Amino acid sequence: MNKTIYYTFIGVFLAFLQVFVFNNILFFEYINPFLYIAFVFLFPLRTLRFYFLLLAFLLGLFVDIFVDSGGIHAFSTLTIAYVRLFFIKLYFRKTAVDYPFFSIQKEPFGKIFNYTVTLTVLHHFILFSLDNFSFQNFSSVLLNTLYSSIFTLLLFFLGGFILIKKQ
Amino acid sequence: MQQLISFIQKYKYLLFFIILQTIGIQLTIQNHSFHKSTFLNSTNFISGNLYEKTANISDYFHLKEQNEQLVLENIQLKNKIAFLNTTEPTALETVLTDSINFNQRYSYATAKIIKNQYTKSNNILLINKGEAAGIEKEMAVFNNKGIIGVTEKTGQKYTRVQSILNKNSGISARLKNGANYFGPLVWDGKDYRNVQLTDIPRQANVKIGDTIVTSGMSTIFPEGILVGTVITVGDKNSRENKINVQLFNDMSNLRQVYVVKSLHKLEIKNLLDE
């Protein structure tokens, strides 16, 4: 099956899952996981980058429309989608030649961990800062970022262990 | 020209990224100004319908609670009638003989909350009535326990409500007993159980446990709708004089609500604008 179409469907599925399931999960009444960003981690590198950026933006916008938050999800998802390449270069030590063969599932856990933690924290920080939209309550932005990131990552790795077959 | 093209060639991804980011930040900024709400919101056909479907399913789990609430409200109303009968035996009859149409100030409609939100810093609710049912912008939303919010954006079948748990919210409220000191209710974004009453003059005698109700000073809310009780009183010497109010409503658990239409709104607005 064509990888691009496959991952596009995963994106759609994650968007619906986020809106109808994860947005209703409120751990300790406040902490909300944003698992839909797993789309950005998993999307293959070989696809045209325009298409990927556009999809990430639309995914964020879809979540935004459902939670009435303007464009904050679109903004933060697009940001991590854009800077993803930089962190792949940094953590996995890949160059442009390796991109067509790059698959996150074949990488060691430590590197994947660094990569996902960085992108998740970045995404959540931008998201909560824009949601707050002022410099008041900045401590709550940081706390929210920390707690939500932990929860998102926990779900991401749990889902990974359950769903992805070991080669 | 050659250089311009090669520049675009080189930075095409960055340029595309910036264009999309601009759209995103534009939507965010628009969303933060109350009167210029965006065209992309959950009152549209698709998301409204999907929310309604999910709400219909989850409704069944709350039937018992809803029944208890209705019984409570019935008792409240019955008590009011009994009270009117004892104090003013003619009160009921006068209302009957009066032509209601000319004295009625508010008309009420019911609606159901199909999406609730209380953990963000600007919370928004969605109700399942829209323009087709006569809902307009800036109508009050409450239930028998107290105020909930103000309608903000109407669609054909759904309406977006700005919750009192929103940093832009500023509903006028006053102390129930005592003098007519009033001020706006704001929310500091911390706890969804509490809101803050501000701008109450220093000489006002506010005690812990006092009841706060809506003041009726705006064209939106009728007077005397319950809000909550005072839990802490701020430092009297500060400029804002913040009073912490615990809401009667559990904002995390809302279903049926009433929407109030103020029939005199146009007249009052015209008078104020002159």
Q: Which residues of B touch A61 (CB under 8 A)?
A: 24, 27, 40
Please tell me whether residues B95 and B111 are part of one structural domain.
yes
- Whichever domain contains B179, its CATH number is 2.40.10.350
Please tell me whether residues B259 and B154 are part of one structural domain.
yes
Going by their DSSP bridges, the two strands B226-233 and B211-214 should be labelled as antiparallel
Q: Which residues of A touch B16 (CB under 8 A)?
A: 50, 53
How close, in Å, is residue A165 to chain B by CA atoms? 33
Helix axes A138-163, A109-132, angle to 10 degrees: 140
- Whichever domain contains A15, its CATH number is 1.10.1760
pLDDT above 70: percentage of residues in chain B: 86
The count of structural domains within chain B is 3
Better pLDDT: B204 or B112? B112
Please tell me whether residues B152 and B100 are part of one structural domain.
yes
Please tell me whether residues B258 and B230 are part of one structural domain.
no
Better pLDDT: A102 or A50? A50
Q: How confident is the model at residue B269 (pLDDT cuts 50, 70, 90)?
A: confident
Please tell me whether residues B162 and B102 are part of one structural domain.
yes
Q: How confident is the model at residue A118 (pLDDT cuts 50, 70, 90)?
A: very high
**pLDDT at residue number B237:** 63
Instruction: Give chain B's mean pLDDT.
Output: 83
Beta carbons of A132 and B160 less than 8 Å apart: no
Nearest to B119 among A30, A72, A79 (CB): A30
**pLDDT at residue number B81:** 81
**pLDDT at residue number B97:** 45
Q: How confident is the model at residue B90 (pLDDT cuts 50, 70, 90)?
A: low
pLDDT above 90: percentage of residues in chain A: 48
Mean pLDDT calculated for residue range A29-40: 87
Beta carbons of B27 and A71 less than 8 Å apart: yes
Mean pLDDT calculated for residue range A41-51: 86
Mean pLDDT calculated for residue range A143-160: 91
Nearest CA among B245, B211, B242 for reference residue B231: B245
Q: How confident is the model at residue B39 (pLDDT cuts 50, 70, 90)?
A: low
Q: How many CA atoms lie within 13 A of A58 on its CB side?
A: 9
**What is the domain range of residue B48?**
2-61
Tell me how far apart the terminal alpha carbons of chain A are, to the nearest angstrom: 18
Please tell me whether residues B125 and B259 are part of one structural domain.
yes
Residues 6+ apart with CB under 8 A from A75: A60, A126, A130, B21, B24, B25, B28
Decide if B269 is inside a domain.
no
Determine which of B27, B116, B117 to mutate to test the interface with A (most A C-beta atoms within 10 Å): B27
Beta carbons of A78 and B21 less than 8 Å apart: yes
Q: How confident is the model at residue B93 (pLDDT cuts 50, 70, 90)?
A: low
**pLDDT at residue number B120:** 80
Mean pLDDT calculated for residue range B186-211: 86
Please tell me whether residues B259 and B239 are part of one structural domain.
no
Nearest CA among B81, B140, B72, B130 for reference residue B105: B140
Predicted confidence (pLDDT) at residue A80 exceeds the cutoff of 60:
yes
Please tell me whether residues B146 and B188 are part of one structural domain.
no
Residues of A in CB contact (< 8 Å) with B are 20, 26, 29-30, 32, 49-50, 53-54, 57, 60-61, 64-72, 74-75, 78-79, 82, 130-134, 137, 140
How close, in Å, is residue B131 to chain A by CA atoms? 19
Please tell me whether residues B153 and B257 are part of one structural domain.
yes
Please tell me whether residues B180 and B198 are part of one structural domain.
yes
- Whichever domain contains B127, its CATH number is 2.40.10.340
B42 touches chain A (CB under 8 A): yes
Q: Which residues of A touch B124 (CB under 8 A)?
A: 68
Mean pLDDT calculated for residue range B83-105: 59
**pLDDT at residue number B63:** 87
Please tell me whether residues B126 and B259 are part of one structural domain.
yes
Decide if B71 is inside a domain.
no
**pLDDT at residue number B37:** 54
Q: Which residues of A touch B54 (CB under 8 A)?
A: 20
Residue of chain B whose alpha carbon sits nearest to that of A66: B42
Is the separation of the CB atoms in B182 and B197 below 8 Å? Answer: no
Nearest to B42 among A57, A65, A133 (CB): A65
Q: How confident is the model at residue B89 (pLDDT cuts 50, 70, 90)?
A: low
Q: Which residues of B touch A50 (CB under 8 A)?
A: 12-13, 16
Please tell me whether residues B93 and B218 are part of one structural domain.
no
How many Cβ atoms from other residues are within 10 Å of residue A31's Cβ?
18
Locate tokens 């039937």: which residue?
A: B63
pTM of the model: 0.76
pLDDT, tens only, B120-169:
878 889 998 889 988 988 899 998 888 999 998 888 889 989 999 988 88
Locate tokens 């706006």: which residue?
A: B184
**What is the domain range of residue A8?**
3-163
Helix axes B2-10, B12-32, angle to 10 degrees: 70
The count of structural domains within chain A is 1
Residues 6+ apart with CB under 8 A from B156: B45, B130, B131, B132
Q: Which residues of B touch A60 (CB under 8 A)?
A: 24
Q: Which of A77-81, A134-138, B266-270 has the highest mean pLDDT?
A: A77-81
ipTM for this prediction: 0.86
Predicted confidence (pLDDT) at residue A93 exceeds the cutoff of 80:
yes
Decide if B259 is inside a domain.
yes
pLDDT, tens only, B208-250:
888 999 888 878 888 888 899 999 887 766 666 788 999 998 8
Beta carbons of A75 and B28 less than 8 Å apart: yes
**pLDDT at residue number B240:** 67
